[in-house]
């Protein structure tokens, strides 16, 4: 999902994160690249402009550029704006608040995935909300559309309205409402007719059906692969029928993301669900935060900035930086850092933040370990003598064996820890060369 866009943005931000200090010009240059990436992803131009303006304004603020980790701060700002672009923090669920049967009307063009999505949604409502649903197809245009819904209904074990040949959509809708009432269904899903294009006859039919069924939700189903066309279709529908939300299908195959990123601002309608495959359980509630995280692929950096802001005090960071700058990074310091990591939410969060950690983490997770590793490393250091901690070079084979036994682990675990420490201190030495706190920023960023 969104692979192309994700790769492009990843390249820009990897470079940015690697910088200790950022100038305004560097931020602007990066934003120019982001702009191109978004346009290539088929995001609507006004949406791109708005986004770039908002990010630039926040990112070149004095606080960001002067911070120890400007690169990370910029990633966080971009993330927050992406969330905004996708619809904001709130996850908008379905409004099922009405006397049952609550009517959900599904609208959209032919081939958008409307019928499949209707069945997916019925399954979702049944399994996630314990709702009894009835589905009815009002699609008298497409041959076998009604039969298709009946087949899908059987697959998800949700009732469908029996087909009466020759009946017209508005009459089918009336019959469906009556039947839903008789069956005491909680929800009635109306799968309306599609067309190849938006046309007057289609809109008139949608209005008539909405008029007699008073739907709680009118969900437009659009194919995300069609990019701006999907957004334009949504705009046309918005002008005619009271849409309450959008379902974007085929997100699983969408490498670009233009429809998802433009939809909210161009149409003002929230994306409520995403179709992520042909199977009938491939439907996800659309969560802007999660999708932004996927696009940026830097969820760790984002929550790190959030958590770091909450847990690391400026003075502590500076004191540590001073020690590091003097090349004084022994196992006591490592241990302190490991404990800080634990309090900040474990190893996964910290990947890439500390010099050498990324490699260490990759090695460790290959061995199937994860946050337990932090506890193990702490135990290993705990089994050393104060002298060994201050001067790890003392640890010969015999001592390593003792430490391993003391911590209940293997000599190879001790070796791994020492190797990680070595890598970290080597990186610390670089800080010295790069000049103190700024250098630290570069390594952290």
Binding site, by residue number, is 108-115, 191-195, 249-252
CB of 142 to ligand GDP, least distance (A): 6
Q: At closest approach, how far in Å is the CB of 124 from ligand GDP?
A: 13
CA angle 121, 126, 132 (to 5 degrees): 110
Longest Cα–Cα distance in the chain: 90
Q: How far is the CB of 193 from ligand GDP (least distance, A)?
A: 9
Smallest gap from residue 121 Cβ to ligand GDP (A): 11
User: From the CB of 115, what's the least distance to ligand GDP, in Å?
Assistant: 3
Q: Which residues contact 47 (CB under 8 A, 6 or more apart)?
A: 38, 85, 261, 262, 265, 266
CA–CA distance, 20 with 71 (Å, rounded to integer) = 7
Residue 100, exposed/middle/buried by CB under 10 A (0-12, 13-18, 19+)?
Answer: middle
Among 438, 443, 436, smallest CA distance to 68 is for: 438
Query: Please, what is the minimum distance in Å from the beta carbon of residue 249 to ligand GDP?
Result: 4
CB 254 → ligand GDP: shortest distance, Å? Answer: 9
Nearest to 333 by CA among 430, 412, 425, 434: 425
Cα 176 from Cα 191, distance rounded (Å)? 11
Closest to ligand GDP by CB, 35 vs 250, is 250
How far, CA to CA in Å, does 417 sit from each of 210, 292, 355, 371, 383? 66, 35, 14, 14, 13
* Smallest separation (angstroms) from ligand GDP to the CB of 153: 13
Distances (CA, A) of 193 to 72, 128, 242: 48, 27, 17
User: Is the C-alpha dihedral spanning 50, 54, 60, 64 positive or negative?
Assistant: negative
244 vs 249 by CB, closer to ligand GDP? 249
When the beta carbons of 26 and 139 are compared against ligand GDP, the nearer one is 139
Q: Which residues are annotated as a binding site for GTP?
A: 108-115, 191-195, 249-252
Q: Which of 302, 219, 310 is nearest to 267 (CA)?
A: 219
Q: In what order do the strands lie in the sheet with 271-275?
A: 159-160, 133-137, 187-191, 102-108, 217-223, 245-249, 271-275, 283-285
CB of 287 to ligand GDP, least distance (A): 16
Q: Is 166 exposed, middle or buried (0-12, 13-18, 19+ CB in 10 A)?
A: exposed
Separation CA 1–CA 277 (nearest Å): 11
Residue 227 Cα to chain centre, angstroms? 19
- Could you give the CA distance from residue 387 to residue 304 in angstroms, rounded to a whole number? 33
Closest CB to ligand GDP among residues 231, 247: 247
CB of 92: closest distance to ligand GDP in angstroms?
19
Residue whose beta carbon is closest to ligand GDP: 275
Is the distance from CB of 263 to CB of 269 less than 8 angstroms? yes
Which residues of the shown chain bind ligand GDP in the complex (CB under 6 A)? 108, 110-116, 194, 249-250, 252-253, 275-278, 282
Residue 151 or 362 having the CB closest to ligand GDP? 151
Residues 360 and 344: their CA atoms lie apart, in Å, by 18
């Amino acid at each position: 999902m969104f692979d192309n866009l994700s790769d492009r943005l990843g390249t820009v931000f990897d470079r940015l994160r690697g910088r200790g200090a950022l100038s305004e010009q560097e931020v602007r240059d990066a934003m120019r690249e982001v702009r191109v990436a978004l346009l290539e992803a088929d995001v609507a131009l006004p949406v791109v402009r708005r986004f770039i303006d908002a990010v630039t304004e926040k990112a070149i603020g004095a606080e960001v550029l002067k911070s120890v980790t400007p690169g990370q701060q910029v990633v966080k700002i971009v993330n927050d704006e992406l969330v905004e672009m996708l619809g904001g923090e709130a996850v908008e669920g379905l409004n099922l608040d009405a006397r049952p049967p609550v009517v959900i009307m599904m609208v959209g063009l032919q081939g958008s995935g409307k019928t499949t999505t209707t069945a997916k949604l019925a399954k979702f409502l049944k399994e996630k909300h314990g709702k009894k649903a009835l589905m009815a197809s009002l699609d008298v245009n497409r041959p076998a559309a009604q039969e298709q819904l009946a087949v899908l209904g059987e697959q998800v074990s949700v009732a469908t309205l029996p087909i009466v040949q020759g009946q017209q959509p508005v009459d089918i809708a009336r019959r469906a409402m009556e039947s839903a009432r008789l069956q005491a269904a909680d929800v009635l899903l109306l799968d309306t007719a599609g067309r190849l294009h938006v046309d007057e006859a289609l809109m008139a039919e949608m209005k008539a059906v909405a008029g007699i069924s008073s739907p709680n939700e009118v969900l437009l189903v659009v194919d995300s692969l069609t990019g701006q066309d999907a957004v334009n279709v949504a705009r046309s529908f918005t002008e005619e029928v009271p849409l309450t939300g959008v379902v974007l299908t085929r997100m699983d195959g969408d490498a670009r993301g233009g429809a998802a990123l433009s939809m909210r601002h161009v149409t003002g309608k929230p994306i409520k669900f995403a179709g992520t495959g042909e199977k009938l359980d491939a439907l996800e509630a659309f969560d802007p935060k999660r999708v932004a995280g996927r696009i940026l692929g830097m969820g760790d950096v984002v929550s790190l900035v959030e958590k770091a802001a909450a847990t690391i005090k400026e003075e502590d960071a500076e004191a540590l930086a001073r020690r590091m700058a003097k090349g004084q990074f022994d196992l006591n310091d490592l241990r302190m850092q490991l404990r800080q990591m634990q309090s900040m939410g474990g190893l996964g969060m910290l990947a890439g933040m500390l010099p050498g950690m990324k490699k260490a983490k990759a090695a460790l997770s290959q061995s199937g370990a994860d946050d337990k590793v932090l506890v193990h490393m702490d135990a290993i250091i705990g089994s050393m003598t104060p002298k060994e901690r201050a001067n790890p070079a003392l640890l010969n084979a015999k001592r390593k064996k003792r430490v391993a036994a003391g911590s209940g682990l293997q000599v190879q675990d001790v070796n791994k820890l020492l190797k990680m420490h070595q890598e970290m201190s080597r990186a610390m030495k670089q800080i010295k060369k790069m000049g103190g706190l700024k250098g630290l920023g570069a390594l952290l960023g």
